[in-house]
């Protein structure tokens, strides 16, 4: 039942992901969540460190698209100054936004990675589409009502995975 929530990788943050290794695996595009993945949900814009990270990822030739369940206002105000395409009100884990992102970037599912901080939205949605999924530790404890509910369910799923040896940190955490 919980197998569809097991990420391909579990890392401390976006900054510890080895994108050269992902490229060797054939990855060409990145679908990334916004809140508590890239920045805190309360931060209106990108940090200098995030801007540098995005530039490095793009410089490697990878396409980046933000796919967020948040509102158009929140996502557009964050993504537009960075010149990053985005999908707002994505309704993850439903597949529609992931399919739309793949079409927009012109990449196949086996060429795309999903990075996010939630098992029930980012990882489940990415896995259902057959995408490579990377779960990151949330950058903040400040979360909305529905995310707090998701976190309770996630704790149960994490315990299930740990008991079965299914949850392994990457070496670079």
pLDDT confidence band for 162 (50 / 70 / 90): confident
What pLDDT was estimated at residue 66? 98
Instruction: Provide the CATH number for the domain formed by 3-163 in this structure.
Output: 3.40.50.1000
What are the DSSP E strand ranges found in the chain? 9-11, 29-32, 63-67, 86-87, 112-116, 132-136
Considering all CA atoms of the chain, what is the largest pairwise distance in Å, rounded to the nearest integer? 44
pTM as predicted: 0.85
pLDDT in tens, 97-130: 999 999 999 999 999 999 999 888 999 999 999 9
Residue 148 has pLDDT above 70, yes or no: no
Q: Name the DSSP class of 157.
A: H
Tell me the β-bridge partners of 115: 32, 134
pLDDT confidence band for 171 (50 / 70 / 90): very low
Residue 5 has pLDDT above 90, yes or no: no
pLDDT in tens, 9-48: 999 899 999 999 999 999 999 999 999 999 998 899 999 9
| Boundaries of every domain in the chain | 3-163
What pLDDT was estimated at residue 111? 97
The mean-pLDDT minimum among 56-70, 88-102, 106-120, 146-160 falls in 146-160
Residue 71 has pLDDT above 60, yes or no: yes
Q: What is the SS3 assignment for 169?
A: coil
* Percentage of residues in the chain having pLDDT higher than 90: 70
| Nearby residues of 141 by Cβ (< 8 Å), 6 or more positions away | none
pLDDT confidence band for 165 (50 / 70 / 90): confident
pLDDT confidence band for 1 (50 / 70 / 90): low
Kindly report whether the peptide bond that precedes residue 93 is cis, defined as omega within 30 degrees of 0: yes
């Amino acid at each position: 039942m919980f197998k569809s929530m097991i990420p391909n990788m579990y890392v401390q943050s976006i900054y510890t992901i080895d994108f050269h290794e992902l490229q060797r695996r054939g990855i060409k595009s990145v679908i990334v969540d916004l809140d508590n993945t890239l920045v805190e949900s309360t931060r209106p814009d990108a940090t200098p460190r995030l801007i540098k990270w995005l530039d490095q990822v793009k410089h490697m030739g990878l396409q980046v698209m933000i796919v967020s369940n948040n509102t158009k206002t929140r996502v557009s105000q964050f993504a537009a100054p960075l010149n990053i395409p985005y999908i707002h009100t994505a309704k993850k884990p439903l597949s529609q936004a992931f399919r739309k992102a793949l079409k927009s970037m012109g990449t196949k599912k086996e060429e795309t990675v999903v990075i996010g901080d939630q098992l029930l939205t980012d990882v489940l949605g990415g896995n259902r589409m057959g995408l490579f999924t990377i779960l990151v530790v949330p950058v903040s404890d400040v979360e909305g009502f529905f995310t707090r509910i998701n976190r309770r369910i996630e704790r149960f799923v994490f315990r299930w995975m740990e008991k079965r040896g299914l949850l392994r940190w990457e070496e670079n955490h």
